[in-house]
Structure 1
Amino acid sequence: MRLRYATASSPPSNSSSSASRLRSSRSSPTLADLLLVGGVLALLRYSLFSQFDPGNAKAARYWPSAGNLQRLPSWGGGGCDDTSFSVPKEFSCPISLDLMRDPVVASTGQTYDRPSIIQWIGEGHSTCPNSGQALADNRLVPNRALRSLISQWCGMYCFQYDSPESNEGMAECVATACSSKAAIEANKATARILVRMLVESSDSSKAVAAKEIRLLAKAGKRNRAFIAELGAIPLLCRLLLSSDQIAQENAVTALLNLSIYEPNKTRIMEQEGCLWLIVSVLQNGWTTEARENAAATLFSLSVVHDYKKMIMNEPGALEKLACMLKKGTPRGRKDAVMALFNLSTHAESSARMLESSAVVALIESLRNDTVSEEAAGALALLMKQPSVVHLVGSSETVISSLVGLMRRGTPKGKENAVSALYEICRRGGSALVRRVAKIPGLNTVIQNIMLTGTKRAKKKASLIVKMCQRSQMPSAMSLGTSLRVVDHSLVGNSSLRRAASFGSGELSNPVSISVHVP
């Protein structure tokens, strides 16, 4: 490949097409090809930043974007409650010790996360990290059974777990190749230049640097680590007040990408004024994307329990999240509801959620399929306070919305909905219990949950039935058959009883519930 340079401010005109030809030269590239591509692109990006004026708009068109080198979207999120847990050993990669997102089987029969084993091989190792056996070849076979189990486990704890099949193609392969040693060193050198640009360059060059840091931070944990270690976070914070909307947007998005790496959350929260600046962008950001990414940053930071109260106490934070949940785009609503869900897990969140109208926003969101599941989960947590139960119970649509979600939601959505309904019955008094009992079709919904729902959903559903029985109504529930609660299982005929009790051992004494056929 030959590159020709016209002037010191003009990049090679064929750099982009050369990379494209390299990417498409084989339909089935080898591992060596992928590592080479990752290293070449990282080195090329470093060379361009070293040689050309970063403020030159013409040159910027040809820079290899770090966006083409990004990894798959990272899993993450808040737990369904405020309890701690550890990743099962079987789901952890023996190399990185992190949860495996794309488990693959090497030639020795050992399972690893794909990025970790490719990095291991790319660094020149020819033996299996776990067994020490020689690797017969570099073929990696997806472990789909284990991936399914990991996905189910993530679902139990409200973690997003995206299947790699939805992100197939060369972009994924090149992303993984970026973790080779050559690419890492080139990216470090590039990051030093970019951070220096944030200090010494013109406003337009700072905007370019923020964009490139934003993209580089998407390409993996190592990049996020050394970008922050170089001092980028306080410099990016300054750009949050920029009158240049592109600079502001890239700066807040760069902070979002950096915050995915756990130690960087501490750096951001301990940086004086940084939280206030992020909330300022959430309130008055120049662009919709800037405001949405500020909300997403708060969501990322709120994963750490110690930071939940700090975020809630920051003036305007909850109010603007509530506003975005009501009026934002689908993506903005999702960012806002996830942040509010995480914050709701704090024991002292209820009062601030009420003051900020966040509870009202969550109630209204039960009718929006995009965010209803997370909204129900947040309300279930918040309704441990009587004042929240009173507000929720006063809404005419809440109970019917929750029952609708119990009928059509995902397993986690159904669990959140039945948990919220349980809190209404438990803390709302007999009047609310009677309202729940009058909901048409509740029999079918609860039977379905008792047979197909999660363990927690089944337990909460059976408790709802018992509370309806104790409400001393002439018709305990508006259901169509004779029901009984058996060992936290609700069944309406002999075949269902057998299905519910199969393998459960000793059963408790059944409690019959007489019901009226409407």
Structure 2
Amino acid sequence: MAERDEPEAAGGGGKEAELKKELESVVNKMLEEDDFRIEKTVQAIRILTRLGESKLNKPAGLGIDDPILSESFKCPLSGKIMGDPVILASGQTYDRPYIENWLNQGNLTCFQTKEVLSHSFLTPNCLVRELISRWCGVSGVAVPEPPKDVRGLITTRDRLLLSSLLDKMSSSLSDQKEAAKELRRLTQALESNRVAFCGLPGAISRLLSPLSESVVESHPDLQEDLITTVLNLSTHGNNKKAVAENPVVVPHLIESMKFGTMETIKNAAAALSTLSELHSNKLIIGRSMAPMALLRLLDGGHPLAMKEAASAISNLCTVDENKTLFVTIGTVNVIMRKINDSLLVDELLGILALLSQHPTAIYQLSEVNTIHCLMRILRQSNSSPTKENCVVILFAVCSRNRDLLKVLWIEEEHNKTLAELADVGIGRGKRKARDLINKIDDAFLNFPSTS
């Protein structure tokens, strides 16, 4: 007899019995076959859906206080109604974030059955999700949102694992490499590991101890894993202060921007960029040799590393002390060369806008070619931040320099670039464009009348 895609409707009390009988038949066939077709799974889900609908259509036992039904929709790990139910290899259903956290802790068994899992793939349980939604509707309960990521949970097992890996940093070279690779993976995968790591005694100094040995220069893979781990740790807000204030971190990052794999150089610059997001770290980094190392990387590094260096410099230049430092070491000239070469134009204009408030930077930018370059970018760019940065720099350079203001006036007479920005621009860029037009008018057009 041919299989039916769906059971026929049954009336009264016989409906559930027929559904159960058909479900039993399909499940038995699935168990008997080593490689059953997906169609059988779909058929079983359809039958279960009909069975669930039959249950939900009963008037009794559907209140919010129904202990049997509500308990069946709770995740065994969280004890809460599931927002994103998934099926584990054992066949048990859990809320996704909680079972993911269980698996990420290294557990290879089902939480409920203790069965060793053949795989860790999670399959969405669409049936249970639909039943929960319908039950909530009938019971007058809000449908639960998929819960937020619970990977922030830190366990004793996490700490012991991280500590054991750190112990290997004082062991053989092969142990160091193995541990460094695993620490890189763990701190990238889970926020909880990034939090737990920095809570361990002397963790950062222990992690970077191999970098103090000359042998690391012959093993760039080890250096790359260690520096990338520092970057991973730095992405967590609560770690930034502890990482930057450790006396070995910034010097090792500076050194790693000079040699190593391209990934090492890029990630060392990225770590300085991430750490410099915290205000108290800006002075720590600015008072080291990092500014010169970042500028060298910006001037002659790989484009990906240059981008990270630009980001770090931008963060650091929000502090006046660092602005003065970067202007003094020649940042303005390096940036203008890169902009003229059409490299990282948007990013570098942001830095230049910050530096353009410094008197020495204004002097260094006071060239006719600079005005023409900025006006060209202003006409060609579709980016509002880029336009704003251009006009901010132009205002700083030209507003008190009559000769350059005249160059700007002649440019404006031909192209109406500022007028267009003042008309259709937004925010600060629009205001600065109007201010520049007023400066031009006051200097060259609004002559006092003579009688």
Structure 1 length normalisation: TM-score?
Answer: 0.56
Pick closer, same or farther for the CA change 1:41–1:226 going to 2, 3 Å.
closer
1:194 corresponding residue in structure 2: 165
- What is the distance in 1 between the residues matched to 2:179 and 2:414? 57
Bigger relative contact order, structure 1 or 2, given CA contacts below 8 A and separation 6+?
Answer: 1
Pick closer, same or farther for the CA change 1:331–1:414 going to 2, 3 Å.
same
- What is the distance in 1 between the residues matched to 2:226 and 2:373? 43
Give 1:337 deviation, angstroms.
Answer: 0.8
Structure 1 SS opposite 2:422 = helix
Give 1:413 deviation, angstroms.
Answer: 1.9
Give 1:409 deviation, angstroms.
Answer: 3.9
Q: State whether structure 2 residue 39 is matched by structure 1 residue 32.
A: no
1:221 counterpart (191, 194, 197): 191
Conserved? CA contact 2:366–2:397, under 8 Å: yes
Structure 1 residues 147-200: Cα deviation after superposition (integer angstroms, max 9, x where no partner): xxxxxxxxxxxxxxxxxxxxxxxxxxxxx867175x86654443232222224x
1:414 corresponding residue in structure 2: 387
- What is the distance in 2 between the residues matched to 1:340 and 1:406? 26
1:206 corresponding residue in structure 2: 176
Q: State whether structure 2 residue 282 is matched by structure 1 residue 308.
A: yes
2:143 corresponding residue in structure 1: 136
- What is the distance in 2 between the residues matched to 1:387 and 1:403? 24
Q: State whether structure 2 residue 230 is matched by structure 1 residue 255.
A: yes
Q: How does 1:20-419 map to 2 (within 5 A)?
A: 30=86, 32-33=95-96, 35-43=98-106, 135-138=142-145, 179=151, 181=153, 187-199=158-170, 201-230=171-200, 231-241=202-212, 242-243=216-217, 244-282=219-257, 284-315=258-289, 317-367=290-340, 371-394=344-367, 396-397=369-370, 399-405=372-378, 407-419=380-392
* Identical pairs, percent: 24
Give 1:419 deviation, angstroms.
Answer: 1.3
Conserved? CA contact 1:446–1:461, under 8 Å: yes
1:86 corresponding residue in structure 2: none
Conserved? CA contact 2:391–2:429, under 8 Å: yes
Structure 2 length normalisation: TM-score?
Answer: 0.64
The amino acid of 1:218's aligned partner reads Q
The amino acid of 1:311's aligned partner reads I
Give 1:254 deviation, angstroms.
Answer: 0.9
The amino acid of 1:356's aligned partner reads I
Conserved? CA contact 1:407–1:445, under 8 Å: no
Would you tell me which structure has more helix in proportion to its own residues? Answer: 2
2:431 corresponding residue in structure 1: 459
- What is the distance in 1 between the residues matched to 2:191 and 2:104? 18
Conserved? CA contact 1:210–1:251, under 8 Å: yes
Pick closer, same or farther for the CA change 1:193–1:370 going to 2, 3 Å.
farther
Give 1:36 deviation, angstroms.
Answer: 2.9
Structure 2 SS opposite 1:348 = helix
2:37 corresponding residue in structure 1: none
The amino acid of 2:409's aligned partner reads A
Pick closer, same or farther for the CA change 1:209–1:402 going to 2, 3 Å.
farther
- What is the distance in 2 between the residues matched to 1:135 and 1:212? 42
Structure 2 SS opposite 1:314 = coil
Pick closer, same or farther for the CA change 1:37–1:272 going to 2, 3 Å.
closer
Pick closer, same or farther for the CA change 1:422–1:188 going to 2, 3 Å.
same
Pick closer, same or farther for the CA change 1:254–1:399 going to 2, 3 Å.
farther
Structure 1 SS opposite 2:320 = coil
Structure 1 residues 54-74: Cα deviation after superposition (integer angstroms, max 9, x where no partner): xxxxxxxxxx9xxxxxxxxxx
Structure 1 residues 229-264: Cα deviation after superposition (integer angstroms, max 9, x where no partner): 113211223233423211111111111111122232
Give 1:406 deviation, angstroms.
Answer: 5.4
Conserved? CA contact 1:42–1:178, under 8 Å: no
Pick closer, same or farther for the CA change 1:274–1:296 going to 2, 3 Å.
same
Structure 1 residues 363-385: Cα deviation after superposition (integer angstroms, max 9, x where no partner): 22324555212211211121212
Pick closer, same or farther for the CA change 1:303–1:177 going to 2, 3 Å.
closer
Pick closer, same or farther for the CA change 1:137–1:270 going to 2, 3 Å.
closer
- What is the distance in 2 between the residues matched to 1:139 and 1:264? 28
Give 1:462 deviation, angstroms.
Answer: 0.7
Structure 1 SS opposite 2:95 = helix
Structure 1 residues 8-32: Cα deviation after superposition (integer angstroms, max 9, x where no partner): xxxxxxxxxxxxxxxxx99x98373
Structure 1 SS opposite 2:143 = coil
Give 1:473 deviation, angstroms.
Answer: 6.2
Q: Structure 1 residues 323-332 or 35-44, which shifts more?
A: 35-44
5+ residue gaps, structure 1, are 1-24, 46-63, 65-106, 108-126, 128-132, 141-175, 477-518
The amino acid of 1:365's aligned partner reads K
- What is the distance in 1 between the residues matched to 2:194 and 2:424? 41
The amino acid of 1:305's aligned partner reads H
Structure 1 residues 301-352: Cα deviation after superposition (integer angstroms, max 9, x where no partner): 221223223322213x222212222222221111011111112211123432
Conserved? CA contact 1:35–1:180, under 8 Å: no
Pick closer, same or farther for the CA change 1:405–1:254 going to 2, 3 Å.
farther
Q: Which has the larger radius of gyration?
A: 2
5+ residue gaps, structure 2, are 1-40, 43-83, 87-93, 109-118, 120-128, 130-135
1:52 corresponding residue in structure 2: none
Pick closer, same or farther for the CA change 1:184–1:463 going to 2, 3 Å.
farther
Conserved? CA contact 1:308–1:343, under 8 Å: yes
Give 1:388 deviation, angstroms.
Answer: 0.9
- What is the distance in 2 between the residues matched to 1:292 and 1:470? 48
Pick closer, same or farther for the CA change 1:252–1:466 going to 2, 3 Å.
same
